[in-house]
Amino acid sequence: MKFHGAMTALATPFKNGKVDEKTLAALVRRQIKAGIDGLIPVGTTGESPTLSHLEHERVIEITVEAAEKKVPVIAGTGSNSTAEAISLTKFAKKAGASAALIVTPYYNKPTQEGIYRHYEAIAKAVDIPIILYNIPGRSVVNVAPETVARLSKIPTIVAVKESTGNMDQASHILSLCDITVLSGDDSLTLPLLALGAKGVISVAANIVPEAVSELVDSFFVGNLSKAQALHHKLFSLCRALFVETNPIPVKRAMKLLGLCEGDVRLPLCAMQPQNEKILIQALKDFGLRIKG
């Protein structure tokens, strides 16, 4: 299975302190109707660090059920404990996920050899396609391009979500191996596609899935001018969605657009008023209608 195109890093809706299962299923259906190519529950945007193991598993189940096999579901199953990552990945496979998105171990600060062995152990333990998730801003360590190339030789490691914000890193990976590279930064999707990336795992697609999908599709059919126009239209919105720690702004935007309650769990908290003004203006500039 190839993991290409515009895919959404799903936010996890909460209501009264609990996962809002009904709204989550509705969000999944909305994404599919909008033409998105894949769904990624319980990643960074899905607030996996503050979900209990039972909640984590339930979010995967609901997403798989609501998707009805219409698009791939790539479950976030990473951990800084290799054993825990294996356990979550086994559950994702059992639940019917198409693949697993596995973040680099955070806090531990493993060496490149430790990173390799972490992913190798998961790949040996669970027969499911694996997408590496490299986000040194959160995990502290960077997966070196040479390590990505080495990991790409493992048959079930099929892609890397590049969230370094570094064009040279992506270029280096693509020069070393033919692993699928996916943008992990909305504002860099078009530049990465130009380098040879095959798609994006998008935060912005939670609110504007049609536009994100259209940008990627336009690029791949050769309509570069349309892709550029969409990139420029999305740019200010993408910047506003990261004016504070993700997913605080995107969940506030979803609340403003009437998509979910918008609650986040501590240690994340509500947006600062001055930043919310920036977000609201970006939503209005994009042409979105504020509902509350």
Residue 61, CB-side half-sphere exposure with 13 Å CA sphere:
11
Phi, psi of 101 (to 5 degrees): -100, 120
Tell the burial category of 35 from Cβ atoms under 10 Å away from its Cβ (0-12, 13-18, 19+): middle
Please spell the DSSP secondary structure of 260-283, one letter per residue.
Answer: S-----TTS-PPPHHHHHHHHHHH
161 is catalytic: yes
User: pLDDT tens, 50-77?
Assistant: 999 999 999 999 999 999 999 999 999 9
- Of 93, 119, 161, 198, which is the active-site residue? 161
Contact in structure between 213 and 36 (CB atoms under 8 Å): yes
Please spell the DSSP secondary structure of 26-55, one letter per residue.
Answer: HHHHHHHHTT-SEEE-SSTTTTGGGS-HHH
Contact in structure between 123 and 154 (CB atoms under 8 Å): yes
133 is catalytic: yes
Q: What whole-number distance in Å separates Cα of residue 71 and Cα of residue 80?
A: 28
Q: What domains are defined for the chain?
A: 5-220 (3.20.20.70)
User: pLDDT tens, 114-154?
Assistant: 999 999 999 999 999 999 999 999 999 999 999 999 999 99
Q: What is the pTM of this model?
A: 0.96
Contact in structure between 34 and 213 (CB atoms under 8 Å): yes
User: pLDDT tens, 204-261?
Assistant: 999 999 999 999 999 999 999 999 999 999 999 999 999 999 999 999 999 999 999 9
- Of 93, 119, 133, 198, which is the active-site residue? 133
